[in-house]
Amino acid sequence: MSDDERDEKELDLSYPEVVTKYKSAADIVNRALQLVISECKPKAKIVDVCEKGDSFINENTANMYKNVKKKIERGVAFPTCISVNSVVCHFSPLASDESVLEEGDMVKIDMGCHIDGFIAAVAHTYVIQEGPITGRKADVMAAANTAAEVALRLIRPGKKNKDVTEAIQKVAAAYDCKIVEGVLTHQMKQFVIDGNKVVLSVTNPETKVDDAEFEENEVYAVDIVASTGEGKPRMLDEKQTTIYKRAVERAYHLKMKASRFIFSEINQKFPIMPFTARALEEKRARLGLVECVNHDLLQPYPVLHEKPGDLVAHIKFTVLLMPNGSDRVTSQSLQELQPTKTVDDPEIKAWLALGTKTKKKGGGKKKKGKKSDRAETEESAAMDASPNGATTEN
Protein backbone atom coordinates (compact mmCIF):
# COMPACT_ATOMS: atom_id res chain seq x y z
CA MET A 1 0.00 0.00 0.00
CA SER A 2 1.33 3.47 -0.91
CA ASP A 3 1.71 6.35 1.54
CA ASP A 4 -1.12 8.21 -0.23
CA GLU A 5 -3.48 5.27 0.23
CA ARG A 6 -2.55 5.07 3.91
CA ASP A 7 -3.26 8.78 4.34
CA GLU A 8 -6.78 8.31 2.96
CA LYS A 9 -7.67 5.39 5.25
CA GLU A 10 -7.94 5.25 9.01
CA LEU A 11 -5.13 2.97 10.08
CA ASP A 12 -6.17 0.37 12.65
CA LEU A 13 -5.05 -3.01 13.94
CA SER A 14 -5.95 -4.70 10.66
CA TYR A 15 -2.61 -3.33 9.36
CA PRO A 16 0.36 -5.35 10.69
CA GLU A 17 2.64 -2.29 10.73
CA VAL A 18 0.17 -0.54 13.05
CA VAL A 19 0.28 -3.43 15.52
CA THR A 20 4.08 -3.33 15.37
CA LYS A 21 4.14 0.38 16.20
CA TYR A 22 1.75 -0.04 19.14
CA LYS A 23 3.87 -2.87 20.52
CA SER A 24 7.13 -1.00 19.98
CA ALA A 25 5.73 2.02 21.85
CA ALA A 26 4.46 -0.33 24.58
CA ASP A 27 7.89 -1.94 25.00
CA ILE A 28 9.49 1.47 25.48
CA VAL A 29 6.90 2.78 27.94
CA ASN A 30 7.03 -0.47 29.95
CA ARG A 31 10.79 -0.08 30.30
CA ALA A 32 10.42 3.62 31.11
CA LEU A 33 7.97 2.69 33.87
CA GLN A 34 10.47 0.22 35.34
CA LEU A 35 13.12 2.97 35.34
CA VAL A 36 10.80 5.43 37.08
CA ILE A 37 9.87 2.86 39.74
CA SER A 38 13.58 2.28 40.45
CA GLU A 39 14.02 6.06 40.93
CA CYS A 40 11.15 6.35 43.44
CA LYS A 41 13.19 6.49 46.64
CA PRO A 42 12.99 8.59 49.81
CA LYS A 43 14.15 12.20 49.26
CA ALA A 44 14.12 11.87 45.45
CA LYS A 45 12.86 15.11 43.85
CA ILE A 46 9.62 14.39 41.99
CA VAL A 47 10.51 16.68 39.08
CA ASP A 48 13.81 14.82 38.57
CA VAL A 49 12.02 11.47 38.41
CA CYS A 50 9.47 12.85 35.92
CA GLU A 51 12.24 14.21 33.70
CA LYS A 52 14.04 10.86 33.71
CA GLY A 53 10.87 9.12 32.52
CA ASP A 54 10.31 11.58 29.68
CA SER A 55 13.99 11.53 28.66
CA PHE A 56 14.02 7.73 28.50
CA ILE A 57 11.02 7.71 26.14
CA ASN A 58 12.42 10.45 23.89
CA GLU A 59 15.86 8.85 23.71
CA ASN A 60 14.54 5.37 22.95
CA THR A 61 12.14 6.51 20.24
CA ALA A 62 14.61 8.92 18.60
CA ASN A 63 16.38 6.29 16.50
CA MET A 64 13.27 4.42 15.35
CA TYR A 65 12.09 4.76 11.74
CA LYS A 66 14.91 7.17 10.91
CA ASN A 67 15.48 5.69 7.47
CA VAL A 68 11.94 5.89 6.09
CA LYS A 69 11.03 8.48 3.45
CA LYS A 70 8.07 9.94 5.32
CA LYS A 71 8.86 11.76 8.57
CA ILE A 72 7.43 9.81 11.52
CA GLU A 73 6.54 11.60 14.74
CA ARG A 74 7.48 9.78 17.93
CA GLY A 75 8.22 10.38 21.60
CA VAL A 76 6.25 11.22 24.74
CA ALA A 77 2.50 10.77 24.33
CA PHE A 78 1.71 11.80 27.90
CA PRO A 79 4.27 13.42 30.22
CA THR A 80 5.45 11.42 33.22
CA CYS A 81 3.35 12.19 36.31
CA ILE A 82 4.15 11.26 39.92
CA SER A 83 1.06 11.72 42.11
CA VAL A 84 1.51 10.85 45.80
CA ASN A 85 -0.93 9.53 48.45
CA SER A 86 -4.20 11.57 48.26
CA VAL A 87 -3.17 13.27 45.00
CA VAL A 88 -5.20 11.54 42.28
CA CYS A 89 -3.44 12.43 39.04
CA HIS A 90 -1.48 14.77 36.72
CA PHE A 91 1.23 15.97 39.13
CA SER A 92 4.24 16.73 36.93
CA PRO A 93 5.87 19.78 38.51
CA LEU A 94 7.96 22.57 37.06
CA ALA A 95 11.75 22.53 37.39
CA SER A 96 11.61 24.98 40.30
CA ASP A 97 9.40 22.67 42.41
CA GLU A 98 11.12 21.18 45.48
CA SER A 99 8.63 18.36 46.27
CA VAL A 100 10.32 15.09 47.30
CA LEU A 101 9.21 11.51 47.89
CA GLU A 102 9.19 9.98 51.37
CA GLU A 103 9.32 6.47 52.84
CA GLY A 104 5.84 4.93 52.81
CA ASP A 105 4.47 7.18 50.05
CA MET A 106 1.89 5.63 47.72
CA VAL A 107 3.07 6.77 44.30
CA LYS A 108 0.97 6.80 41.13
CA ILE A 109 3.10 6.83 37.97
CA ASP A 110 1.32 7.80 34.73
CA MET A 111 3.03 8.06 31.34
CA GLY A 112 2.67 7.42 27.61
CA CYS A 113 4.77 6.83 24.48
CA HIS A 114 3.85 7.01 20.80
CA ILE A 115 5.37 5.99 17.51
CA ASP A 116 3.76 7.59 14.44
CA GLY A 117 0.84 8.63 16.65
CA PHE A 118 0.10 5.09 17.85
CA ILE A 119 -0.04 5.46 21.62
CA ALA A 120 0.84 3.11 24.45
CA ALA A 121 -0.26 4.45 27.84
CA VAL A 122 0.38 3.01 31.29
CA ALA A 123 -0.15 3.88 34.96
CA HIS A 124 1.05 1.97 37.99
CA THR A 125 0.90 2.29 41.78
CA TYR A 126 4.01 1.71 43.88
CA VAL A 127 4.56 2.08 47.63
CA ILE A 128 8.03 3.17 48.74
CA GLN A 129 8.73 0.44 51.29
CA GLU A 130 10.28 -2.98 51.70
CA GLY A 131 8.12 -6.06 52.17
CA PRO A 132 4.44 -6.71 51.45
CA ILE A 133 1.84 -3.92 51.33
CA THR A 134 -0.78 -4.30 54.07
CA GLY A 135 -3.92 -2.66 55.45
CA ARG A 136 -5.87 -0.06 53.52
CA LYS A 137 -2.98 0.58 51.13
CA ALA A 138 -3.26 -3.05 50.04
CA ASP A 139 -7.05 -2.82 49.87
CA VAL A 140 -7.09 0.14 47.50
CA MET A 141 -4.32 -1.29 45.30
CA ALA A 142 -6.13 -4.64 45.11
CA ALA A 143 -9.39 -2.81 44.30
CA ALA A 144 -7.82 -0.95 41.38
CA ASN A 145 -5.97 -4.00 40.11
CA THR A 146 -8.93 -6.40 40.32
CA ALA A 147 -11.20 -3.81 38.67
CA ALA A 148 -8.63 -3.48 35.87
CA GLU A 149 -8.54 -7.27 35.43
CA VAL A 150 -12.34 -7.36 35.18
CA ALA A 151 -12.34 -4.45 32.71
CA LEU A 152 -9.78 -6.30 30.56
CA ARG A 153 -12.18 -9.25 30.31
CA LEU A 154 -15.29 -7.16 29.62
CA ILE A 155 -13.80 -4.78 27.03
CA ARG A 156 -14.26 -7.15 24.13
CA PRO A 157 -16.21 -7.09 20.86
CA GLY A 158 -19.95 -7.30 21.47
CA LYS A 159 -19.84 -5.99 25.05
CA LYS A 160 -21.15 -2.53 26.02
CA ASN A 161 -19.34 0.29 27.81
CA LYS A 162 -22.01 0.47 30.55
CA ASP A 163 -21.30 -3.17 31.46
CA VAL A 164 -17.75 -2.21 32.41
CA THR A 165 -18.82 0.82 34.45
CA GLU A 166 -21.15 -1.25 36.62
CA ALA A 167 -18.62 -4.06 37.07
CA ILE A 168 -15.64 -1.97 38.23
CA GLN A 169 -17.79 -0.17 40.82
CA LYS A 170 -18.91 -3.53 42.19
CA VAL A 171 -15.29 -4.70 42.46
CA ALA A 172 -14.21 -1.57 44.34
CA ALA A 173 -17.10 -1.96 46.79
CA ALA A 174 -15.90 -5.49 47.59
CA TYR A 175 -12.71 -3.91 48.98
CA ASP A 176 -14.66 -1.14 50.76
CA CYS A 177 -13.25 1.39 48.28
CA LYS A 178 -14.70 3.74 45.65
CA ILE A 179 -13.92 4.12 41.98
CA VAL A 180 -12.91 7.76 41.47
CA GLU A 181 -15.37 9.88 39.48
CA GLY A 182 -14.36 11.68 36.29
CA VAL A 183 -11.79 9.13 35.11
CA LEU A 184 -12.56 7.86 31.62
CA THR A 185 -11.35 4.85 29.68
CA HIS A 186 -10.83 6.21 26.16
CA GLN A 187 -10.61 4.56 22.79
CA MET A 188 -7.34 5.61 21.14
CA LYS A 189 -6.60 6.08 17.45
CA GLN A 190 -3.63 7.41 15.53
CA PHE A 191 -2.70 10.75 17.15
CA VAL A 192 -5.90 10.60 19.28
CA ILE A 193 -5.30 9.89 22.97
CA ASP A 194 -8.89 10.65 24.02
CA GLY A 195 -11.26 9.26 21.39
CA ASN A 196 -15.04 9.71 21.48
CA LYS A 197 -15.79 6.12 22.52
CA VAL A 198 -15.40 6.04 26.30
CA VAL A 199 -16.18 4.05 29.43
CA LEU A 200 -17.38 6.02 32.44
CA SER A 201 -15.75 5.11 35.73
CA VAL A 202 -18.83 6.12 37.74
CA THR A 203 -22.38 6.83 36.63
CA ASN A 204 -24.02 9.98 37.98
CA PRO A 205 -26.65 12.46 36.77
CA GLU A 206 -24.06 15.11 35.84
CA THR A 207 -21.89 12.87 33.66
CA LYS A 208 -23.32 10.97 30.73
CA VAL A 209 -21.71 9.38 27.69
CA ASP A 210 -23.16 7.71 24.62
CA ASP A 211 -23.82 4.00 24.82
CA ALA A 212 -21.20 2.19 22.79
CA GLU A 213 -20.28 -1.35 21.82
CA PHE A 214 -16.67 -2.51 21.61
CA GLU A 215 -15.46 -3.69 18.21
CA GLU A 216 -12.61 -5.71 16.81
CA ASN A 217 -9.43 -3.77 15.87
CA GLU A 218 -10.07 -1.02 18.44
CA VAL A 219 -7.52 0.16 21.02
CA TYR A 220 -8.33 1.36 24.54
CA ALA A 221 -6.43 2.96 27.40
CA VAL A 222 -8.19 1.23 30.29
CA ASP A 223 -7.98 3.70 33.18
CA ILE A 224 -8.94 2.69 36.73
CA VAL A 225 -8.50 4.86 39.83
CA ALA A 226 -9.69 3.66 43.24
CA SER A 227 -9.82 5.53 46.56
CA THR A 228 -10.33 4.81 50.24
CA GLY A 229 -12.20 8.14 50.36
CA GLU A 230 -15.35 9.41 48.65
CA GLY A 231 -13.97 9.16 45.13
CA LYS A 232 -14.93 12.77 44.36
CA PRO A 233 -11.65 14.56 43.64
CA ARG A 234 -11.28 18.31 43.32
CA MET A 235 -8.71 20.82 42.17
CA LEU A 236 -7.09 22.65 45.10
CA ASP A 237 -4.61 24.91 43.34
CA GLU A 238 -4.85 25.95 39.69
CA LYS A 239 -1.13 26.79 39.71
CA GLN A 240 -0.31 23.08 40.09
CA THR A 241 -1.59 22.42 36.55
CA THR A 242 1.34 21.92 34.19
CA ILE A 243 0.00 19.49 31.55
CA TYR A 244 -1.95 20.74 28.55
CA LYS A 245 -3.08 19.60 25.13
CA ARG A 246 -3.64 21.74 22.05
CA ALA A 247 -7.35 22.06 21.21
CA VAL A 248 -6.80 21.82 17.47
CA GLU A 249 -10.34 22.81 16.52
CA ARG A 250 -10.12 26.16 18.37
CA ALA A 251 -8.75 29.46 17.01
CA TYR A 252 -8.27 32.88 18.63
CA HIS A 253 -6.03 35.89 18.03
CA LEU A 254 -4.01 36.19 21.23
CA LYS A 255 -3.42 39.70 22.56
CA MET A 256 -0.29 39.28 24.70
CA LYS A 257 3.14 38.95 23.12
CA ALA A 258 4.15 36.27 25.66
CA SER A 259 1.02 34.28 24.78
CA ARG A 260 1.72 34.42 21.05
CA PHE A 261 5.33 33.35 21.65
CA ILE A 262 4.34 30.36 23.80
CA PHE A 263 1.50 29.34 21.50
CA SER A 264 3.84 29.37 18.52
CA GLU A 265 6.31 27.19 20.46
CA ILE A 266 3.50 24.77 21.36
CA ASN A 267 2.33 24.52 17.75
CA GLN A 268 5.87 23.70 16.65
CA LYS A 269 6.79 21.23 19.40
CA PHE A 270 3.48 19.77 20.61
CA PRO A 271 0.79 20.24 17.94
CA ILE A 272 -1.26 17.19 18.98
CA MET A 273 -0.01 15.29 22.04
CA PRO A 274 -0.28 16.45 25.67
CA PHE A 275 2.84 18.22 26.95
CA THR A 276 4.25 19.65 30.16
CA ALA A 277 4.86 23.36 30.70
CA ARG A 278 8.27 22.24 31.99
CA ALA A 279 9.27 21.80 28.33
CA LEU A 280 8.56 25.48 27.58
CA GLU A 281 10.46 28.66 28.44
CA GLU A 282 9.23 28.94 32.05
CA LYS A 283 8.90 32.71 32.61
CA ARG A 284 6.99 33.31 29.39
CA ALA A 285 4.96 30.14 29.91
CA ARG A 286 3.59 31.38 33.24
CA LEU A 287 2.10 34.43 31.51
CA GLY A 288 1.24 33.03 28.12
CA LEU A 289 -0.48 29.80 29.12
CA VAL A 290 -3.17 31.64 31.09
CA GLU A 291 -4.50 33.51 28.05
CA CYS A 292 -4.31 30.36 25.92
CA VAL A 293 -6.38 28.40 28.46
CA ASN A 294 -8.86 31.24 29.00
CA HIS A 295 -9.67 31.22 25.29
CA ASP A 296 -9.85 27.40 25.05
CA LEU A 297 -6.80 27.05 22.83
CA LEU A 298 -5.38 24.57 25.33
CA GLN A 299 -7.08 21.81 27.30
CA PRO A 300 -5.62 21.67 30.84
CA TYR A 301 -5.14 18.46 32.82
CA PRO A 302 -5.67 19.72 36.40
CA VAL A 303 -4.01 18.13 39.42
CA LEU A 304 -6.86 16.55 41.40
CA HIS A 305 -6.94 15.65 45.10
CA GLU A 306 -8.93 13.49 47.44
CA LYS A 307 -9.10 14.56 51.10
CA PRO A 308 -5.83 14.44 53.11
CA GLY A 309 -5.40 10.97 54.57
CA ASP A 310 -7.28 9.24 51.76
CA LEU A 311 -5.29 6.75 49.69
CA VAL A 312 -5.55 6.54 45.92
CA ALA A 313 -4.36 3.75 43.58
CA HIS A 314 -4.13 4.03 39.79
CA ILE A 315 -3.86 1.26 37.19
CA LYS A 316 -3.89 2.00 33.45
CA PHE A 317 -3.04 -0.26 30.55
CA THR A 318 -3.34 -0.30 26.77
CA VAL A 319 -5.32 -3.15 25.22
CA LEU A 320 -5.52 -4.09 21.54
CA LEU A 321 -8.78 -5.82 20.56
CA MET A 322 -7.22 -8.25 18.11
CA PRO A 323 -9.11 -10.86 16.05
CA ASN A 324 -7.73 -13.61 18.34
CA GLY A 325 -8.66 -11.79 21.55
CA SER A 326 -7.54 -8.98 23.83
CA ASP A 327 -3.84 -8.18 23.94
CA ARG A 328 -2.75 -6.07 26.94
CA VAL A 329 0.53 -4.53 25.81
CA THR A 330 1.39 -2.32 28.82
CA SER A 331 1.61 -3.58 32.40
CA GLN A 332 3.80 -3.91 35.45
CA SER A 333 3.61 -6.42 38.32
CA LEU A 334 2.39 -5.07 41.63
CA GLN A 335 4.22 -5.50 44.91
CA GLU A 336 2.97 -8.29 47.16
CA LEU A 337 -0.38 -7.27 48.64
CA GLN A 338 -2.02 -8.46 51.84
CA PRO A 339 -5.45 -6.76 51.73
CA THR A 340 -7.89 -6.89 54.62
CA LYS A 341 -10.73 -7.88 52.27
CA THR A 342 -11.28 -10.89 50.02
CA VAL A 343 -13.44 -11.19 46.91
CA ASP A 344 -16.16 -13.77 47.49
CA ASP A 345 -18.81 -12.40 45.12
CA PRO A 346 -19.71 -15.11 42.53
CA GLU A 347 -20.28 -12.56 39.76
CA ILE A 348 -16.83 -11.00 40.23
CA LYS A 349 -15.25 -14.46 40.28
CA ALA A 350 -17.09 -15.30 37.06
CA TRP A 351 -15.78 -12.16 35.37
CA LEU A 352 -12.22 -12.95 36.44
CA ALA A 353 -12.58 -16.48 35.06
CA LEU A 354 -13.34 -15.21 31.56
CA GLY A 355 -10.62 -15.79 29.00
CA THR A 356 -9.01 -12.93 27.10
CA LYS A 357 -8.31 -14.93 23.93
CA THR A 358 -10.77 -16.07 21.29
CA LYS A 359 -11.09 -19.81 20.78
CA LYS A 360 -9.66 -20.90 17.47
CA LYS A 361 -12.12 -22.42 15.04
CA GLY A 362 -11.56 -26.00 14.00
CA GLY A 363 -10.74 -29.05 16.04
CA GLY A 364 -7.02 -29.38 15.63
CA LYS A 365 -5.25 -31.52 18.21
CA LYS A 366 -3.50 -29.71 21.02
CA LYS A 367 0.04 -30.58 21.90
CA LYS A 368 0.43 -32.39 25.17
CA GLY A 369 1.67 -30.24 27.98
CA LYS A 370 0.54 -27.05 26.21
CA LYS A 371 -2.12 -25.15 28.14
CA SER A 372 -4.97 -23.60 26.22
CA ASP A 373 -5.27 -19.79 26.12
CA ARG A 374 -8.35 -20.06 28.30
CA ALA A 375 -6.63 -22.26 30.87
CA GLU A 376 -3.68 -19.90 31.06
CA THR A 377 -5.99 -16.91 31.42
CA GLU A 378 -8.10 -18.55 34.11
CA GLU A 379 -4.95 -19.47 36.03
CA SER A 380 -3.79 -15.86 35.68
CA ALA A 381 -7.17 -14.56 36.82
CA ALA A 382 -7.06 -16.77 39.90
CA MET A 383 -3.69 -15.24 40.78
CA ASP A 384 -5.04 -11.75 40.10
CA ALA A 385 -7.94 -12.27 42.49
CA SER A 386 -5.68 -13.69 45.18
CA PRO A 387 -4.70 -11.59 48.20
CA ASN A 388 -1.38 -10.45 46.77
CA GLY A 389 -3.21 -9.04 43.74
CA ALA A 390 -0.18 -9.11 41.45
CA THR A 391 -0.76 -8.70 37.74
CA THR A 392 0.93 -10.92 35.21
CA GLU A 393 3.42 -9.24 32.96
CA ASN A 394 3.03 -9.55 29.21
For residue 348, give the CATH number of its domain.
3.90.230.10
Q: How many beta carbons lie within 10 A of that of residue 136, not counting itself?
A: 18
β-pairing verdict for 198-200 and 133-134: unpaired
The DSSP call for residue 204 is B
Integer Cα distance of 360 and 322 in angstroms: 13
Residue type, 24: S
Return the ∠ at Cα 74 (arms to 92 and 251), rounded to 5°: 70
Residue 394: inside a domain: no
| Mean pLDDT, the chain, whole residue set | 89
* Boundary of a domain, candidates 276, 301, 326: 301
Would residue 388 count as lying in a domain?
no
The per-residue pLDDT for 371 is: 44
| Per-residue confidence (pLDDT) for residue 160, from 0 to 100 | 95
**Is the residue at 33 inside a domain?**
yes
Mean pLDDT score, 198-205: 89
Once rounded to an integer, what is the mean pLDDT over residues 305-316?
98
**How many structural domains comprise the chain?**
2
pLDDT in tens, 370-380: 444 434 443 44
Domain containing 376 equals 11-237+302-358+370-382
Same domain, 291 and 311: no
Residue 352 lies in a domain: yes
162, 166, 171, 175 alpha-carbon torsion, rounded to 10°: 140
Pair (277, 169) in one structural domain: no
Q: Comparing 220 with 66, which gets the higher pLDDT?
A: 220
Domain annotation covers residue 130: yes
**Vertex 329, ends 356 and 153: CA angle to 5°?**
25
Look at residue 207 and tell me if it is in a domain.
yes
> Tell me, what's the pLDDT at 389?
44
Q: How confident is the model at residue 359 (pLDDT cuts 50, 70, 90)?
A: low
pLDDT range class, residue 7, cuts 50, 70, 90: low
Whether the per-residue pLDDT at 367 is higher than 60: the answer is no
**CATH number of the domain encompassing residue 290:** 1.10.10.10
Q: Does residue 284 sit within a domain?
A: yes
Same domain (yes/no): 177, 219: yes
Q: Are residues 233 and 295 in the same domain?
A: no
Distance of CA 368 to the CA centre of its chain: 38
What pLDDT, on the 0 to 100 scale, is given for residue 360? Answer: 54
Residue 167, in any domain of the structure: yes
Is 290 found in the same domain as 199?
no
Distances (CA, A) of 44 to 98, 109, 385: 10, 14, 33
Q: What is the mean pLDDT of residues 110-127?
A: 98
